[in-house]
Amino acid sequence: MGKENTELKKIKKELLIEKERLNKHLLVIKEGVAIFSYNKNRISSNKNFVRYLSLISKEPINHETDIFRLKPLSEINEFIDKNIKSEIKISKDEVLEYEINIKKNSKYFNIKCIVFYDKSFELLISDLTKREKNRVIKSQITSNIAHELKTPVSAIQAYLETILLNKNIDEDKKSYFIEKAFMQVERLSLLINDISTINKLENAEDFYKIEKVNIFDIIKDIKEETSIRRKENKIQFNNQLPKKLIIKGNKGLLYSIFQNLVENSINYAGNNVEINIKKHFEDNEFYYFSFSDTGNGIPEKHLGRIFERFYRVDSGRSRKDGGTGLGLSITKNAIQFHQGDISAKKLKNGGIEFLFTIKKY
């Protein structure tokens, strides 16, 4: 008898531990989960369940059971009602499943229902928004990439074909075509580098090391690196940032934000211009930056689109200058990685100003 008692106690204890583990699991998982009894009473649920329901519903959600009156989930509710009826028999090793995907308030959800043999049932809500958005972006990028790669590849093909088909071509012309083909290969390699940066940015947030970075030092490095080219174009560089401006972020990405902006000023602003970099404001969370140059500027009608991938204002000129149309898109992605945002403004006296925020940590 005593032995049986100890055995029973042991089982009870194990069951309790198991239950606690299950509850903890419910708390930490990303999905919204709720388990209901055969008469639609809540047995167990997690916070995300009500949170997701609130995002799906137009009206406020007060209780898990509100799910049974939600219009967008009518299909799921019909499935539940049909299968918890007493006349329906479910064998012990059977589970009945039904799932739907819905889009609500620009978010995507998958809702799955599982009915068990005792007519209790589980509802699982997964937020697919990030995955869905990534899928759309991916397919857009893929079709753009194919288009963008085609141009240099067909040019290289044409140059090399000309050399191959004209055996008696004179040396000068031959070198000219080889040089042209080489320039296109360089362009291809630039494109591929930029595309892989963007892909990495979108896919692997954890991929990037986070550390304390002094933005002043970054600008100082960029200033030095570009000094020869700036001298050629007579571009003055005014780094008006405080000597110590620390951001907890990824050094490489922070570098590319400013590098792309400076490179663009060198490539597009023209001669005899000034570059100004300032921190014009800060609050508890963000630094507010202004990057401007006093050069050619960008016509107003293009301003809304310059951050798009592969967008070039004057595609003929940029193509010649070797731009990929990805620079500002990388800058924007890197800023968004640091939870900030960027916009561009035409300056009164010509030139362009980029205003952006970067989260301090």
Q: Residues in the site for ligand ADP, rule: CB under 6 A?
A: 260, 264-265, 268-269, 293, 295-298, 306, 311-314, 318, 323-329, 352
* Residue 345: φ, ψ to 5°: -135, 140
Q: How far is the CB of 133 from ligand ADP (least distance, A)?
A: 21
Rounded-to-integer distance, Cα 271 and Cα 293, Å: 11
How far is Cα 64 from Cα 42, in angstroms, rounded to an integer?
7
**Which of 32/270 has CB closer to ligand ADP?**
270
3-state secondary structure of 286: strand
Closest approach of ligand ADP to the CB of residue 230, in Å = 13
Nearer to ligand ADP by Cβ, of 122 and 293: the residue is: 293
Residues β-bridged to residue 100: 111
- Shortest distance in whole angstroms from residue 324 CB to ligand ADP: 4
Q: Smallest gap, in angstroms, from Cβ of residue 259 to ligand ADP?
A: 11
Closest CB 36 distance from ligand ADP, rounded Å: 52
Q: Please say whether the beta carbons of 266 and 276 come within 8 A.
A: no
Nearer to ligand ADP (CB atom), residue 108 or residue 255: 255
Place of tokens 């998958």: 110
User: From the CB of residue 134, how many other CB atoms can be counted at a distance below 10 Å?
Assistant: 13
Of residues 111 and 298, the one with the C-beta less far from ligand ADP = 298
Q: How far apart are CA 212 and CA 245, in angstroms?
A: 10
Chain centroid to CA 161: how far? 41
* Cβ distance to ligand ADP smaller for residue 127 or 293: 293
Distance, in Å, from the CA atom of 266 to the CA atom of 235, rounded to the nearest integer, reads: 8
In the complex, minimum distance from the CB of residue 302 to ligand ADP, in angstroms, rounded to a whole number: 7
Which of 75, 314 has the CB closer to ligand ADP?
A: 314
Q: Which has the closest alpha carbon to 199: 252, 141, 146?
A: 141
Residue nearest to ligand ADP (CB): 323
